[in-house]
A and B are shown apart, each in its own frame.
Chain A
Amino acid sequence: MSNQELIDYLVALGHQVSTVRNSSNTDFIVISGFTVLTGKDAGRTVDVGIQFSTQIPYVAPSAIHVRPQLVAAGSQSSRDSELGSGWQYLSRQAVRVTSPRAMVAHIVSVLGELQ
């Protein structure tokens, strides 16, 4: 798995995907208009940011980033995001993410489990 394979998979699923570089020169994959499938936010559309992995083999990042913020600042292992204003960092380990499909499942799970 690679960053590009993840992008290709997301595009193939029909998502609107772009790449963003923040002020610290860190690259992110941004999915615009991602629909939350389950949980308290089911049906909402949010933007999701996934930091590029610089590792070989791919190491899934330790957080996903969402816009708008979905939980109270500082709660549920959240903090301000390096993606900038309006974004929220949700610290969540992704242990068995070795394929793009697993990454999408991880995103769906993280967003669905928020309280």
Chain B
Amino acid sequence: MDGPGLIRVADELAVSMERNFDEALESHFDKGPLQEDLTFAYYRLAQGRRRQSFILSRLALPRDGDRILQGNVAFTQKYLQRVLDECPAGVGIALIHSHLGPGWHGMSEDDVVAERDRLAAAVGGRTGLPLLGMTWGTDGAWSARVWVREAPFRYRRQDVHLVRSVGPRLRVTFHPVLVPTPAVGKSQVATVSVWGEEAQSVLARLRVGIVGLGSVGSIVAEGLARIGVSRFVLVDHDRIELRNLDRTSGATRADARLGRHKVSTAARHIKESATSESLELDVYRGSLLTRGGLARILDCDVVFSCVDRPWPRHLINSVAYANLLPVIDGGILVRVDDGRLLHADWRIHTVGPGMACLVCLGALDMGDVSLDVAGLLDDPDYMRGLSAAQRETYARRNVFPMSLSVAAHELLHLAGLVSGDDRVRGIGPQRYHGYPGAMEAEPRSDCREDCGYSALTASAIDLSGTFGVK
């Protein structure tokens, strides 16, 4: 039951923070083995289709005299009042405290009293948003819950499914009951032997989005299924045609004849290839540039961007920062002249907080975004007016082996993102040059200072207005 002025709380909840936010908390909580500590923070809420994400946006660290430290810890009324007074409109409040042991933590009776009885009503009444409570374990593991209003001054606890710390490495703590560790099956033994059970237990529980189930996306889908990913969101509006069969994994002549949606073909192929004992598939036969498409992406923990159109890539790039959502992206550029291959390059990169965005990497051109938004890339008159070289950049040529290569490295980027092991994914963005046949790896880099995408970081801004209501 929702109270007046309070938002509806979804069944599935997640918390996200930037890695440097996480590190600031770790530093704050580092008081030795006998002293707990706490702080307030502000969050912004992002609404997916089934998941609400609490995006931690700003710390409100205590000042001298703001809390009572006696082994355990309590906040003062003065501290709470300041946090309430300074809370911007539309922003929620979190109480974050440390415990003196590792791992996921439940709540002590003192914790419950502090959050439910001292805070939930004050915070909910002031912000219209539920209190978020979080507990830090000494190994960096997180647990979290929100307090849902059932009646005036009566609140119930609803546990959060997972907490993400997002940077060049993605660290995720899952609720041990709501999202239990799956057993490693016999069909995954070889995979686990390479990157270990810990990384595998995260991979197996992440919800992974794939936007675009064409050449690269269809291969990524199969690869994810084989390495044990079990939760998928597939987004694509397009259907299989005969001309797709030379590049689309799992697609058949019958799919082309029947004009099956690419997501349906991919879903079937995932089921056929999966090594996980359980599968969760959310198949969306529509564009990312719709409320339904965007909402599904906000349900994800990682997204593979396998679209080549600039506008959806611009949107995915925005979501990566605004919603703290790592995006793995790649691209292929083939130049031909009169049926003769001149050159082929492809590149793979992961973008999101702590990493340079698609525009700052040179993987997305704002001018192209502008053309796509204006509809000019679909305007035959406009395209005819371009030079042959300009038209070539929009030709989007590739062949299956090139897509395989990009997809393979994208999958390794995911494994490296989760394991934190650069020996799996390389040190940063990668560029392959067809001639002489060499892969370059660039050091990881940040966005330019004036980057509009990184400026969105942790804003959870509603991006649905950028493509109109559909």
Contacts and interface: CB of A to CB of B under 8 A. Distances in A.
Interface in B414-470: 450-453, 455-456, 461, 463, 465-466, 468
Interface in B325-373: 365-367, 369-371, 373
A77 B376 CA distance: 13
Contacts of B314: 55, 59
A57 B318 contact: yes
Nearest to B374: A62
Interface residues of A, number: 20
Contacts of B369: 55, 59
Contacts of A93: 367, 370-371
B65 interface: no
Contacts, number: 56
Interface in A44-63: 54-63
B403 to A, nearest CB: 28
B465 A54 contact: yes
Nearest to A61: B370
A93 B390 CA distance: 13
A54 B466 contact: yes
A59 B311 CA distance: 10
Nearest to A97: B366
Contact of A57 (B370, B371, B456, B468): B456
A95 B362 CA distance: 11
B385 interface: yes
Contact of B367 (A54, A62, A98, A99): A62
Interface string A76-115: 0100000000000001011111110000000000000000
A54 B372 CA distance: 13
A56 B459 CA distance: 11
13 contacts: A55-B466, A56-B318, A57-B453, A57-B455, A59-B370, A62-B373, A62-B374, A62-B376, A63-B374, A91-B382, A93-B367, A98-B450, A99-B450
Interface of A: 1, 54-63, 77, 91, 93-99
